[in-house]
Structure 1
Amino acid sequence: MQTGENDQAMRKILDMTRLISMVLLLLHFYVVCYGAFAYWHWVSGLTDRLLLNVGKTGLFNSFLKPKLIALGFLVIALIGVRGKKDEQQTVKVALWYMVTGVVFYFASWFVLLITGHLEAVAIGYMALTGLGFLLFMSGGTMLSKIIRDKLKGDIFNRDQEAFPQEERLLENEFSVNLPARYSYQGKWHRSWINFINLFRALLVLGSPGSGKSYFVIRHVITQHIRKGFAMFVYDFKMPDLAVIAYNTWLKYKDNYKVVPEFYSINFDDLSRTHRCNPLNPSAMLDLTDAVESARTILLGLNREWVKKQGDFFVESPINFLTAIIWYLRKYKDGEFCTLPHVIELMQMDYDSLFTVLGTQQEIDVLINPFISAYKRDAVEQLEGQIASAKITMARVASPSLYFVLSGSEFTLDINNPEAPKIVCMGNNPQKLQVYGAVLSLFTNRLLKIINQKNKLKCSLVFDEFPTLTTDIIPTIATGRSNLIATTLGIQDASQLRKDYGREQADVIMNIVGNMAVGQVSGDTAKSVSEKIGRIMQDRESLSINRSDTSISRSKQLEAAVPASRIAALSSGEFVGMVADNPEEKIELKAFHSEIVNDHAALKQEIDGYLPLPEVRKVSAGIIERNYLQIKQDVRDIIETEMERLLSDPGLSHLVIKKA
């Protein structure tokens, strides 16, 4: 047991050992430089007799023997020294002092070889030896001041924030498996990110350039097509992902029981686009389908309306557009039920428009408030209800959009086992608002059509999902049993909240089962860090006192991946969680790793990609004729219906004529 008395006794012993070392060195000086001491009259008969008796022990039989013994006693004294700890002291400086001291201590012998005055030689020898002795003692004292129990040098705490990850390849007929590597206990380990159940949805988060598409989304596309999935791809920067899907389809289409067809929607390159009617009458079974379509297109064109749903001047335009859509769905069994015909019919004069709409009893409850306002000359109210819809829909009234939306070259039942499809729809960042609204209509209609029993497994891939106004929540929540895998690419949760509102954004963020997150910051990084959870980490603290240092070590739960680490991830470095199946348990669900892409092989593969095929030759004349034909169709509908009503006395009362 260490007490104050023990420390005091130890210090006395060390002082005595050091004193013995000095006495031996002084005796050595007296013997070697006896002539000089005699000249200075520093000798006596008593000291000579004592020295002679000491010499009989053999201490002075060799020149180096007393110096070595003196140095040995000094070393013993230094071993027990406990100097005041100094963080600035280094081993390098201490050793330099000691080595220099030893050199001077023993090299002083050469001074005795100098021919000169006896006194000068003696002084030089003793001074050089003493200097070496003092330097060696100083260096030894410095060693005792060095802090030996220093804390670990991992200033960013990377080693402590590492944790074991799944290193097995767990593959099934639905999985997406990404090779990766991670650092743990100072070594790099190979691992696998196993998304074995994407029917519980995958959320891919990351700021621009973090590698969402290159490291994750492209592999979802290629691996799912290889495994026989029907697929829908929303390509924000057409044709980046569409080309990947097309070339993968060319390579693996023989893997399907029924070879799927490939279709693409591209509003910018009409020669490489197929034509599709999102309001196809065969898929609009009741009025609720028209309501959903109207809501989707108007909210897509007016993103601020998303947060104002329920307001009078938001719901009124939706009801008005619903009435027109459902009227065209019922007229001649939907022959003219297309979005371009809807837009043109909205522009007709109120007398003709309300008269025609009034002939359809199913929409009477929707159109009556507008007719009443019109008859009561409530012009301001009517314009507030209708004009916002007409002005909004006018943004879509372009010949190129009319051309794509008025044809029916394929239907949206992509997971039909008898006619599977791979469909790519492209947006354009420069025309985001208009294209996004139309594509939102496509996706909403598609989601409702495919979410049925006994269909082919299908994969939905949305790059930059917040640019759409799509109600994806029901598909994520219920599509699992219908084998619908959903992948959402998002830059940040704040982007989702901005376009969908906080409540809906939080639901999307929280119901997904799989998550791969690249570099994000702020609240998103904090939320992801909390979802990954905490791990047990070692903690150390250093205490320095006069004579010693002490380190306290403990364990405590800390974030496995702190928000600050997520905000500093490199491109291709992802953190996240995977979901498992009841029959395929994954114990290590969390990951923080670098996804390993074979860049050379991918570049070679990309260089060999074929461009999207040309569907048809399209000229400006064809587009213009289609545009004019739609306008003529709407005029014919109005004229035919007005003539029918006026010629029948039993229906003439339905004709509205404002005085």
Structure 2
Amino acid sequence: MNTGENAEALRKIIDLTRKCSIILLCLHFYVYCYAAFEAWGLTHDIGRQLLINIGHTGLFSRFWISKAAALTLLVISLIGAKGKKDEKLRLPTALRYLFAGLAVYAASHLLLHLEASARTLAGIYMAVTAGGTLLTRLLKQRLDGDIFNALQETFPQEERLLENEYSINLPARYSLKGKIRRSWINIINPFRSLLVVGTPGAGKSYFVIRHVITQHIKKCFTMFIYDFKYDDLSVIAYNTYLKYRHLHKVVPKFYVINFEDLSLSHRCNPLYPDSMTDITDATESSRTIMLGLNREWIRKTGDFFVESPINFLTGIIWFLRKYKDGKYCTLPHCIELMQMNYDQLFPVLRTEPEIEVLINPFVTAYVNGAMEQLEGQIASAKITMARLASPMLYYVMSGNDFTLDINNPKEPKIVCVGNNPQKTQVYGAVLSLYVSRMIKLVNRKNQLKSSLVFDEFPTIYIGGASGIEGTIATARGNRVSTVLAIQDVSQMRKDYGKESADVIFNIVGNIISGQVLGDTAKTLSERFGKIIQQRESLSINSSDTSVSRSTQLESAIPPSRISSLSSGEFVGAVADDPTNKIELKTFHCEIINDHEALKKEEEGYVPIPKVRDITPKEIEENYNRIREEVAMIIETEMERIYDTPELAHLLVARDE
């Protein structure tokens, strides 16, 4: 029993055994090094007689008998001894001392043939006895070998390749208890959307998004790509399209929208009249463009001076949609029409009954002379929209090279829209309108499978029920895959508002994250769940060591780990579907890219071809033509009002 009395008795027995070993070794030295002790004057007749009597036992009859007996007693004493633990001591060190000491101890008798060697031999014997106790000081538990707890935070990951006609499959490798193993990130259900998160340089585009583009084009998806840094993603899409277009049943057409170089851009009217079936389409378009240009309004939704300009622009859009069956229904025409004088603009707008309820508050304010209120309602819209009054923007948005129904079975398309990081505020608002209208057209039944890829998603705004939240929530049944790339959730909260950002972050089914910090890392860590990990506690005192072990649930991927990921290293979780169950959904791995093959492939890329030759004169002529058409609309409608007595009530006169 481990009682105090038993422990004390054991210590006394060990000490006695060790003392007997030392005494026997000293007697061995005295007998076989007698000449040296005699020279030192350390001999006596009584001692000599005592040794003669002991010698009759046969203990010193052979050189090795007394040495072996002393070593045996020493080993017996070490069996129950616990030397002072030293966590810095290594096993090779202790073994080197042990084997070196034993070798010297065993071969030391050879030194007896040398003159004046007694003192040297005695010193060697003393050194040998110190070798055994080093082993008891070696800690079996090395707590400082894994200071970052990397081994305990590893867990099994999916090593099978699970592929179907929609999947995105990324090869990877991961560590499991110190061993590197191959794995796969299998996004078998991309229609539940994919969120790619990571700070700049984490490798979102190079390791993830480029593979989404290439694999989905190869699997005959139609595609819409928002290329924030044009043409980084667009050139990948174009060359992949050239490589695999023969696989499509109906070969899709490739289109580009680029406001920087119009010779490389197709023309597309986001307010194409055939795509706008009722006034709610005009409302959504108006809200998208206004909030895209004024991001601070997102937090003030419902405010009088926010909703008023949105309603005003809605009226303008729907008037042009109804006027001559939408012949002039383009955003440039809307911008120019908004700039007309109130006493001409209001009567013209009132000729369309469907928007009278939208226009009446402005007319009333004008008639009653509340110009300060009216300017507060309308001027913000006019000033905001005036930022888009660019001949280059007018040229792109007033043409009809293609429509935005990219997954139309009869006319499939791959569309790339390019932004410029230096002009994000203006271009982002216009591209937001393209995206908003495209989503509305894509999310329909009986269309082709499509993939929507948004790089740096917060730089555009897609709001409303049919925005990105509604697309993620409802478009799964219509085979619409959505990929959103962001740098951090806080960035999305800043541009979309906390509520919308949290909804988007929480409803995505698949998530791949590179290095992120702060709240995003904490939220992701909680999302990935916990695993059972072993914990050890070590207590060291002068004569004993206490080691305790426990198992407990800890974060599988703690925030500190997510905050220190290297480029190309990702964590995340994937979603499955009823026909393809995945048990190991969470991963922490390094995505494998064949850098040499990708570099060679990029060197063989051909540039996106020129669409047309365009001169500055043609751009300017288009700009002037739009302005003349708007002036003609006002003039024609005012003449009709003056010439028709039944319309006289539409005229407005301001009280002075």
With normalisation by structure 1, the TM-score equals: 0.93
- Which string of whole-angstrom CA distances, capped at 9 and with x for unpartnered residues, describes residues 29-59 of structure 1? 5444656777859433x65554334333333
What 5-or-longer segments of structure 2 have no aligned partner? none
Please list, as runs of the form range in 1=range in 2, the aligned pairs for 1:121-520 lying within 5 A after superposition: 125=118, 127-151=119-143, 153-470=145-462, 471-520=467-516
Distance 1:577 1:33, change over 3 A: closer
Code of the residue aligned with 2:178 in structure 1: it is G
Contact 2:101 2:131 survives alignment (8 Å): no
Match of 2:81 in 1: 81
| Cα distance, 1:496 vs structure 2 | 0.6
Q: Is 1:621 paired with 2:613?
A: no
1:24–1:552 Cα change, 3 Å: closer
Aligned to 1:593: 589
Seen in structure 2, the aligned counterparts of structure 1 residues 42 and 274 have a Cα distance that, compared at 3 Å, is: closer
**Relative to 1, partners in 2 of residues 1:84 and 1:384: Cα closer, same or farther, differing over 3 Å?**
same
Confirm whether residue 43 of structure 1 aligns to residue 39 of structure 2.
no
Q: Distance in 1 between matches of 2:71 and 2:48?
A: 24
Return the alpha-carbon distance in structure 2 between the equivalents of residues 281 and 561 of structure 1.
51
1:331-382 residue CA offsets vs partner (Å, 9 max, x unmatched): 1111011000111111111111112112111111111111111111111111
| Residues 60/223 of structure 1: CA separation in 2 closer, same or farther (3 Å cut) | same
Query: What's the counterpart of residue 18 of structure 2?
Result: 18
Q: 1:612 to 1:21 in 2, by over 3 A?
A: same
Alpha-carbon distance in 1 for matches of 2:515, 2:454: 19
Output one character per residue of 1:464-505: Cα deviation in whole Å (capped at 9) or x when no partner: 111111021111111011111111111110011000101111
Q: Distance in 2 between matches of 1:4 and 1:486?
A: 71
* Separation in 2, partners of 1:476, 1:228: 21
More moved, 256-265 vs 141-150? 141-150
Count of aligned pairs? 649
- SS of the residue 2:373 aligns to: helix
How far 1:583 moved relative to its partner?
1.4
Alignment of 1:2 with 2:2, yes or no, is yes
**Offset of 1:256 from its aligned partner?**
1.2
In structure 2, relative to structure 1, the CA distance for the partners of 1:49 and 1:240 (3 Å cut) is: closer
Q: Distance in 1 between matches of 2:228 and 2:496?
A: 18
RMSD: 2.3
**C-alpha distance in structure 1 between counterparts of 2:315 and 2:36, whole Å:** 126
Cα deviation code 1:43-76 (max 9, x no counterpart): 33x6555433433333333445434433443343
Contact 2:104–2:128 (Cα < 8 Å) also in 1: no
- Residue of 600, 622, 626 corresponding to 1:604: 600
- Counterparts in 2 of 1:142 and 1:174: CA distance versus 1, 3 Å: closer
Q: Distance in 1 between matches of 2:143 and 2:451?
A: 51
- Aligned letter for 1:19? K
2-side partners of 1:198 and 1:34: how far apart? 90
Helix, strand or coil at the partner of 2:233: helix
Q: Deviations over 1:383-412 (max 9, x none)?
A: 111110000000000000000001011111
User: Which segment is superposed worse, 235-244 or 86-95?
Assistant: 86-95
Give the letter aligned to residue 304 of structure 1: E
Q: Is the 8 A contact 2:332 2:626 kept in 1?
A: yes
Shift of residue 187, structure 1, vs aligned partner: 1.0
Distance 1:163 1:17 in 2: 50
TM superposition shift of 1:151: 2.8
Q: Is the 8 A contact 1:200 1:485 kept in 2?
A: yes
Q: Decide whether aligned partners of structure 1 residues 128 and 514 sit closer, same or farther in structure 2, where only a CA change above 3 A counts.
A: same
Q: Judging changes above 3 Å, is the alpha-carbon distance between structure 1 residues 102 and 418 closer, same or farther for their aligned structure 2 residues? A: closer
Letter in 2 for 1:7: A
CA deviation digits over 1:260-284, x for unaligned, max 9? 1111100001001000000111011
* CA shift in 2, pair 1:132/1:493, >3 Å: same
Residue in 2 that maps onto 1:118? none
| TM-aligned CA deviation for residue 600 of structure 1 | 0.9
> Could you list the runs of 5+ residues in structure 1 that have no partner in the other structure?
115-120
What is residue 527 of structure 1 aligned with on the other side?
A: 523
- Any idea what SS the aligned residue of 1:216 has? helix
Q: Is the 8 A contact 1:225 1:231 kept in 2?
A: yes
Whether the aligned pair in 2 keeps the contact of 1:466 and 1:495 (CA below 8 Å) is yes
Q: 1:570 aligns with which of 539, 550, 566?
A: 566
- CA distance 1:37–1:208, change in 2 (3 Å): closer
Contact 2:271 2:329 (8 Å CA) reproduced = yes
Show CA shifts across 1:557-595 (max 9, x none): 111000110111111111111111111111111111111
CA–CA distance in structure 2, aligned partners of residues 473 and 216 of structure 1:
22
| 1:478 alignment partner, SS class | helix
The answer to whether the 8 A contact 1:180-1:593 is kept is: yes
Matches of 2:294 and 2:343 in 1, distance apart?
A: 28
Code of the residue aligned with 1:210 in structure 2: it is A
Gap change, CA 1:57 and 1:453, over 3 Å in 2:
same
Moved more, 91-100 or 372-381: 91-100
After superposition, give the CA deviation of every residue in 1:267-326 in whole Å (9 maximum; x if it has no partner): 001001000000111011111111111111111110100111111111110111111111
Query: Is the aligned partner of 1:645 residue 2:641?
Result: yes
Distance in 1 (CA, whole Å) between partners of 2:33 and 2:185 is 81
SS of corresponding position for 1:651: helix
Matched, 1:560 2:561: no
Instruction: Note if 1:631 corresponds to 2:637.
Output: no
1: distance between equivalents of 2:203 and 2:32? 80
What residue in structure 1 maps to residue 544 of structure 2?
Answer: 548
What is the Cα deviation at residue 88 of structure 1? 5.1
Do 1:105 and 1:130's aligned partners in 2 also have CA atoms closer than 8 Å?
no
1:245 CA displacement: 1.1
Cα distance in structure 1, aligned partners of 2:77 and 2:192:
72
Q: Cα gap change, 1:409/1:77 in structure 2, threshold over 3 Å: closer, same or farther?
A: same
Aligned equivalents of 1:487, 1:34: Cα separation in 2: 91
User: Distance between the aligned counterparts of 1:615 and 1:364, measured in 2?
Assistant: 42
Distance 1:50 1:316, change over 3 A: closer
Q: For the residues of structure 1 that align with 2:33 and 2:244, how far apart are their CA atoms?
A: 99
Q: Give the Cα–Cα distance (whole angstroms) in 2 for the partners of residues 41 and 395 of structure 1.
A: 110
Tell me the SS of whatever aligns to 2:161: coil
1:539 to 535, 538, 560: 535
Specify the SS of the correspondent of 2:549: strand
Partners of 2:87 and 2:142 within 8 A in 1: no
Q: Percent identity?
A: 63
Contact in 1 for aligned 2:29/2:122 (Cα 8 Å): no
Q: Which amino acid aligns with 1:190?
A: R
TM-score (norm 2): 0.94
